[in-house]
Amino acid sequence: MIVRLLALLLVCLPVAAVAQTEEAPAEGEELEELPPPERSRKLKKALKKVKDKEWPVASLALHKVLQDEEDAYYHTEVRYYLAYTLEQMGLSYSALEEYNRYLLDVEPGHALIPKALKRSVSLGRQMEAGWILAPGLARLDTSLVTKGLQGPAMYWVGRHHFEDGNLMVAQAYLSLVPKDTEYYAQARMLEGITMVSGGKPVEAIAPLTAAYQAADRYGVDQRTWEVANINLGRAYYAIGNFERAIEHFEATPRESALWFESLYEASWAYFRLGRLSGALSHLQSVDSPFFKGTYHPEATLLRILIFYYLCKYISGQEMLDDFTEEHYPIQEALDKAIRKAESDPEALFDALYAWKTAKKDTKLKLPDPVKQWFSTDESLVAIGDYVAGIDAELAAIDRLKTGWQKSALRKDLEGHLKDRKRDAVEDKGREALAKLTSMHAVLGGHLGSSELYKVEMITAEKNIYDAAYQGRLMDRIATRKADSSVQQGYRFWPFQGEYWVDELGWYEVNTINECLVITK
C-alpha cells in the first residue's frame, strides 16, 4: 500500500510542477490584459446619436443598451452618456439621478470619471442638490474634480460624513474647501461645529473665526455669518470664556431668526459669571409677549433658578405653577404627534413643510411651539422644493407628444425619481421624529424637575418663616434698597408690566437679593 502511494506521488508531483510552470508568469512579468470586447452595433448606433446631438433618440437608444447584457462591459460608460443626454434635454432631475447612479457604480480609474465629476458637480451646484451626489463622490478621488468645482464637492462630501457621524473624515474634507469659493465660510463653520461635537472646543475657535470673518454679514451669506457667530459664542462658552461668548451672542442682529436663542444663551453666560442681573435682563426680553408661543422651557427654568438663588421663593413658585400649567399640554400634544409620526414619517415632514412654507396645518397636528422649534431648519425647505421640482419635471414629460413620454426609459426614470422622493421625505421625517422624541424626553425631565423645584422653594420659604419666628434672622428685606445709580446715556424707567418692541434686548434688571442670614 505504501509503495503504491509513493508511486502515485512520484507520478503526480512532476505533472503538477510542469502545470504550474506553464500557467504561472515568470517573476516580474505582468499578466497580459485582455482587450475589451467589441462594441455591438446597437451601442455604436446609440453613441452616434449622441455625437449627432439627437438627444431624445440617443437617450432611448442608450437605455436599450443598458437592458442588453451583450454590452454589459460598457454599461458604466453608457450610464454616463445617458445622464449627459438627459441633461441636454433639460431633464435636470433625471440627469442628476443618472449621474448619481454612475458615481455609485463606477470603478476607480474609469476613463470618464473626470468628465462625470465635472458635469455632475456643476449640475448639483446649479440645483443646490449636492446631498444627492455626496454618497457617490465620497467613494471616489475628489482631487480629480475641476479646480473651480472642488469647493462644492469637498463641502458636500464633508457634510455627508458629518451627518453619518464620521467626524474625523468630515473635518479632513471640509478643511480642503478652497478659500476662493462661496462654500468656504460654510465649510469652515461646519468644520468648527464638527470639532465641538468631537469634544474639541479649543480647536474649533480657529475654523469658526475663519467662517465668521469670511462670511459677509450684510450680503447673500448673512445666514452663514449668523450661524458662525452664534457657534463661535458657544465654543467660547464651552471653554469657559464667558465674556467673549457674550460678545458674540449679543452681536446677533435683532431681525435674525437666531436672536431669541442668542439672548437666552447670553443669559447663561451671565449666570455662569455670577452676574444674575445681567442674566435676568436678557430673560426679561425672552419672556416678553412678543415671544409668546416660542418654545423655550429652558429659558423659563433658568429664570426660576436665578430667582431661587436670589431667594425670591414666592415669585419662583408662581413661575413654576405657570410653567407646569403651560407645558403639560404641550407634552401631551407631543406624545400624540410622535405616535402618529412613528407610523408615517412622511406625514410629519408634510406637516412641517406646509407650516414652514405656507403657515398651513395638515392632518398631523403639531403644537405651535413645536413648529416654531423647526423654524431655522432650512433643509426642510430644500428637500421639499426638490421634491416639488421632481413632480414638475414628471408633469412636463407627460405633456410631451413625441411618444418619448410612453417609453420604457420614462418609466424607469419615474421609478427612480419617485424612490428619491420617498427616501428624501421619509429620511427627513425620521430625522424630525428623532428631534421630537428628544424634545419630548427633555420636556418630561424638565417637568419632573419643576416638581422638585417646587418642593425646594416651599422648604426654603418655610425655613425663613421658622427662623423669623425663632428670632434667628440677622436682617430684614425691607431695609435693602436697589442700586439707584444709572450709567450715562441711560434713563431709569420703572418697569410696570408694559413692553415695547424697540426696548427688547435693552432691559436692565436692577433687583434685590432677598437672601437673609440665619443664625444657628
Short-list 508, 518, 440, CA closest to 476? 518
Q: Write the DSSP assignment of 357-407 as a string of letters.
A: HH----SS---HHHHHHTTT-HHHHHHHHHHHHHHHHHHHHHT--SSGGGS
Please give the grid coordinates belonging to residue 79: 450610464
Q: How far is CA 25 from the centre of its chain?
A: 54
* Cα 311 to Cα 322: distance, rounded to the nearest angstrom: 19
Note the pTM of the prediction, 2 decimals: 0.79
Q: Which residues, 6 or more positions from 23, have their beta carbon under 8 angstroms from its beta carbon?
A: none
| 3-state DSSP assignment of residue 2 | helix
Please give the grid coordinates belonging to residue 115: 468628465
* Cα 346 to Cα 100: distance, rounded to the nearest angstrom: 24
**Other CB atoms within 10 Å distance of the CB of residue 292:** 9
* Cα 13 to Cα 19: distance, rounded to the nearest angstrom: 10
* Cα separations in angstroms, 424 against 386, 388, 391: 9, 12, 14
**Other CB atoms within 10 Å distance of the CB of residue 71:** 21
Please give the grid coordinates belonging to residue 460: 426654603
Q: Is 90 exposed, middle or buried (0-12, 13-18, 19+ CB in 10 A)?
A: exposed
Angle formed at CA 184 by CA 179 and CA 189, multiple of 5 degrees: 135
| 3-state DSSP assignment of residue 473 | strand
Angle formed at CA 288 by CA 286 and CA 289, multiple of 5 degrees: 130
**Other CB atoms within 10 Å distance of the CB of residue 272:** 14
* Cα 405 to Cα 401: distance, rounded to the nearest angstrom: 7
DSSP state of 24: S
Q: Write the DSSP assignment of 212-233 as a string of letters.
A: HHHS-TTSTTHHHHHHHHHHHH
Q: Which residues, 6 or more positions from 516, have their beta carbon under 8 angstroms from its beta carbon?
A: 311, 464, 467, 473, 474, 475, 476, 477
pLDDT of residue 30: 55
* Cα 447 to Cα 507: distance, rounded to the nearest angstrom: 29
pLDDT of residue 393: 94
* Cα 189 to Cα 204: distance, rounded to the nearest angstrom: 9
Answer whether 337's CB lies under 8 Å from 436's CB: yes
Sequential pLDDT tens for the chain (520 residues): 333 333 333 333 333 333 333 444 555 555 566 788 899 999 999 999 999 999 999 999 999 999 999 899 999 999 999 999 999 999 999 999 999 999 999 998 899 999 999 999 999 999 999 999 999 999 988 778 888 889 999 999 999 999 898 989 999 999 999 998 889 999 999 999 999 888 899 999 999 999 999 987 777 678 889 999 999 999 999 999 999 999 999 999 988 888 889 999 999 999 999 998 889 988 888 877 777 777 889 999 999 999 998 888 888 999 999 999 989 998 998 898 898 889 888 888 998 888 888 888 888 888 777 777 787 788 888 899 999 999 999 998 888 777 888 899 999 999 999 999 999 999 999 999 999 899 999 999 999 999 998 999 899 888 888 888 777 776 655 455 555 566 677 666 666 666 666 666 667 777 777 776 666 6
User: Can you tell me which residue has the cell 437608444?
Assistant: 61
Answer whether 239's CB lies under 8 Å from 202's CB: yes
**Within 13 A of 507's CA, how many CA atoms are on the CB side?**
27
Answer whether 65's CB lies under 8 Å from 71's CB: yes
Please give the grid coordinates belonging to residue 486: 444709572
* Cα 279 to Cα 303: distance, rounded to the nearest angstrom: 8
pLDDT of residue 11: 34
DSSP state of 402: S
DSSP state of 70: G
Give me the count of residues in the chain: 520
**Within 13 A of 490's CA, how many CA atoms are on the CB side?**
13
* Cα 284 to Cα 341: distance, rounded to the nearest angstrom: 36
